[in-house]
Amino acid sequence: MVSGVSMEKLWTEGVLVRILTDEGIEGNSLCSGGRGMAEYLTPLKPALLGQDPLDREKIWQELWRLDRLMFLPQHALGAIDVALWDIAGKAAKLPIYKLLGAYRDKVKAYASSMGLPNVEACVQQALHYKSKGYSAYKIHAWGIPDKDVELCKAVREAVGYDMDLMLDAMGYRHEDALRIGRELEKLSFYWFEEPVQDYDIHGYIQISRALDIPVLGIEVLPGSLYSAPEYIVRGAVDMIRGDVLFKGGITAVKKMAALAEAFGMNMEIHTNCNPLGNAAHMHVTCSIKNCEFYEVFVPEEYFNFGVKEDIRIDDEGYAHVPQQPGLGMEIDWDSIDKWTITTL
């Protein structure tokens, strides 16, 4: 019988993807999934060898078709695509957002909480990041409706109404989602994220129709840009979620942003929980108009690993896109070597 659980540190396994070219340019990306993800990536090597790494669209389409028989996680395609964009930026001696077509070089950041043990811990964290200049804070609640409402009220009371607040619910029952959404409207929350599970399009439609607060969804919905249109045209969401790993790369997320823009919608980009993935997100964010925020999982030190310097957040709460070629992140190879479990 389990008598207790204590977590002193957050442990996870990731896969560092390196794509080498015969011109000596190396592209990198980092994805979650550990050794299981590595087993998906290894069979894709023959599909890449001999290709022109600048033919990103061709490679993306070929790998997408391979998913039909190989049952590839979208993470695998995403990791390869990000590394190819890293190569392209280095070859052109430009940061990726300039290759994509720059719109800006900084964007507002919001602090995104992990699951915290109690209301007071969440209140103190929100106040801490407000004092650091952040203009927005997102709550990851416990999934217990009454406690979640209590938490949202306490945070709003503590930070006041000059800080944007969001709730990431990760799936309630329909009736609870409606009740909580109405409470969030009273508290002037900025958005209600994943009120029900992403596959539940019926639930999303009912909730989006009933609530005035913007509903954000489809973060983990399979199908990438090809599953998003049904949610958009049926009014299931007010904003869609993008992620370079969850959706299959920078190539896919840029397409999803254009799709959302055509319908007058924002695509708010997820955090990738690692510096290389987050840099990719920042480059896409700075190449589009219809994304308002950069998500920062906090405490930051849990997610700042494997690079010499992470994305910079200034005293006014703005995240700044890296200016070096490619992803613009210098890998700390000593740190990577220290923690490497296996090489494939």
| Average pLDDT over all residues of the chain | 93
Task: Tell which wins on pLDDT, 194 or 13.
Answer: 194
Instruction: Supply the pLDDT for residue 306.
Output: 86
Long-range pairs for 40-43: beta carbons < 8 A, 24 or more residues apart: 40/70, 40/72, 40/73, 40/75, 40/76, 41/15, 41/17, 41/76, 41/79, 41/80, 41/344, 42/344, 43/70
Give the residue from 269, 319, 263, 321 showing the smallest Cα distance to 102: 321
Q: How far is CA 24 from CA 21, 53, 91, 152, 295, in A?
A: 5, 12, 10, 52, 33
Long-range pairs for 331-334: beta carbons < 8 A, 24 or more residues apart: 331/28, 331/276, 331/306, 331/307, 332/306, 332/307, 332/308
Give the residue from 2, 14, 46 showing the smallest Cα distance to 307: 14
| Whether the predicted pLDDT of 161 surpasses 70 | yes
Query: Distance between CA atoms of 212 and 334, rounded to whole angstroms?
Result: 50
When pLDDT is cut at 50, 70 and 90, the band that residue 2 belongs to is very low
Helix residue ranges per DSSP H, the chain: 34-41, 45-48, 56-70, 74-92, 96-100, 119-131, 145-159, 174-186, 201-210, 228-233, 250-262, 275-285, 333-339
Provide the percentage of residues in the chain whose pLDDT is more than 70: 95
Note the maximum CA span of the chain: 59
Instruction: Supply the pLDDT for residue 11.
Output: 59
Type of residue numbered 239:
M
Type of residue numbered 58:
K
Asked, colleague to colleague, whether 14-94 and 98-320 share their fold, the answer is: no
Helix-then-strand count for the chain, H and E: 13, 12
Helix, coil or strand: residue 186: helix
The CATH topology of domain 14-94 is: Enolase-like; domain 1 (3.30.390)
| Whether the predicted pLDDT of 261 surpasses 80 | yes
Right CATH for 98-320 from 3.20.10.10, 3.20.20.120, 3.20.20.70, 3.40.50.2300: 3.20.20.120
pTM over 0.85: yes
Instruction: Supply the pLDDT for residue 13.
Output: 78
Task: Tell which wins on pLDDT, 197 or 342.
Answer: 197
Average pLDDT over residues 51-62: 97
Structure tokens at 39: 């087993």
Structure tokens at 67: 């998913």
Instruction: Supply the pLDDT for residue 297.
Output: 95
pLDDT tens-digit readout, 187-197 = 999 999 999 99
pLDDT tens-digit readout, 266-316 = 999 999 889 999 999 999 999 999 999 999 999 988 888 889 999 999 999
Q: How far is CA 335 from CA 297, 305, 339, in A?
A: 21, 8, 7
Structure tokens at 137: 């804070």
Average pLDDT over residues 173-191: 98
Would you list the domain boundaries of the chain?
Answer: 14-94, 98-320
DSSP string, 264-305: T--EEEPP-SSHHHHHHHHHHHTT-SS--EEEEEESGGGT--
CB atoms within 10 A of CB 197: 14
Bridge partners of residue 121, in order along the sequence = none
Helix, coil or strand: residue 139: strand
